[in-house]
Amino acid sequence: MMTDFLLLEKISRLTSRTPRPRLLHQKGIAARGSFAPYMSLSDYTRAEFLRDPRVETCVTARFSRTTGEKGSGDSFRDTRGFAVRFETEQGDYDLLCHNMPVYYISSPSQFPAMVETLMPEDRQALGSGGFWKFLSENPQAVNLAVGLYSDRGTLKSYRFMEGYSANTYKWVNDRQEELYIRYRWVPLCEREEDYEKRKGVSSQEAEFLAGFSPDCCVSDFALAVEEGNFPVYELEAQMMEPDQAKRCGFDFLSPSLYWPEENFPYIKIGKMVLNQVLKKEQEDALCFRPGKLVDGIEPGNLEFFQIMDYAHRDGGRQRGAKQ
């Protein structure tokens, strides 16, 4: 398996001489800031940036619309990316999330079909025939479609958007004890009316904004930072012990399935504050990868992580982004 990946790496380097735009997540905004845990999590993981609440870790975050090309409306019905890079003393840790609790696919073999469905030349809107054909052939994607066709699929502000890891991680502590983890970013709102914005907007308002203010999510975020109203997000985690995983009754590693909150409640573990918007050329140079991990954090589904990491790494190479 490793030999195959090395061969693919060599071939990809040969075919990426001319930079290309992102295949997906073309339009977005990136910002820098800091993260600090609320408490020491050393009982659960040996990842250094989660062990001391007095130590802040620099972060870079990028928010993006999955299928939106540059110039398209931010508010159209779509999934959104929420990627965060923790710049730890152990190295970079990339946490890739999006605004739905589940993902389109559960197997890496379905990745090419998913991308072909969402590619720019094949889509005018997510309601196209190709999209529904993909759903009919991949019923595990219905969980995501239900959320996509709610108000969660249309929004006007990244400052009030949640982010879910969907992928399952493993935390490993100094005693080699393992714990399965799923993450969620939750925006912290100071005003009561801001909580309503977390629900998204109606399809009618989304269509209006696409014409009246196509850059509504990007401009809203940038203006807030410029005015000193820095976006703040709380990191939460669902935890599952190996014994619970054996008897949970569902595929806990599948990105297309929820972990029921009544059995695995979210625990607040830290806070991120973003206070500096990156320039466009800095944002374009970013390449987030699921395979960027640190000691104490491991992939749950290794095969899925390997394929997704290769796809992101090769996409960055095609764009000439710094790896």
Element (H, E) at 211: helix 203-212
Please, what is the Cα angle at 239 between 249 and 84, to 5 degrees? 120
User: What does the pLDDT read at residue 2?
Assistant: 46
pTM (2 decimals)?
A: 0.88
Instruction: State both tokens at 53.
Output: 């609440």
Tens of pLDDT, residue by residue over 28-56, are: 999 999 999 999 999 999 999 999 999 99
Q: Return d(Cα 87, Cα 90) in angstroms, integer.
A: 8
**Residue pointed to by tokens 């800095």:** 282
Neighbouring C-alpha atoms within 13 Å toward the C-beta of 301: 21
Out of 115-119, 220-224, 227-231, 319-323, pick the least confident: 319-323
Given a contact cutoff of 8 angstroms between Cβ atoms, the answer to whether 169 and 300 are in contact is yes
Tokens 């589904």 sit on residue: 301
Count CA atoms closer than 13 A to 21's CA, side-chain side. Answer: 11
Contact 230, 165 (CB under 8 A): no
**Lowest-pLDDT range of 6-15, 123-132, 133-142, 217-226:** 6-15
- Tell me the pLDDT tens digit for each residue of 90-148: 999 999 999 999 999 888 888 888 888 877 554 444 556 678 888 888 888 899 999 99
d(CA 184, CA 299): 16
- The CB-side HSE value for 136 (13 A sphere, CA atoms) comes to 6
Q: How far apart are CA 217 and CA 80, in angstroms?
A: 11
**What pLDDT digit, counting tens, does each position of 287-315 carry?**
899 999 999 999 998 888 888 888 878 77
- Is the model's pLDDT at 236 over the cut of 70? yes
Question: 1: exposed, middle or buried (C-beta count within 10 Å: 0-12, 13-18, 19+)?
Answer: exposed
| Closest C-alpha to 210, from 69, 72, 65 | 72
Task: Confirm if 33 and 56 have CB atoms less than 8 A apart.
Answer: no
Condensed to tens digits (0 to 9), the pLDDT of residues 72-81 reads: 889 988 999 9
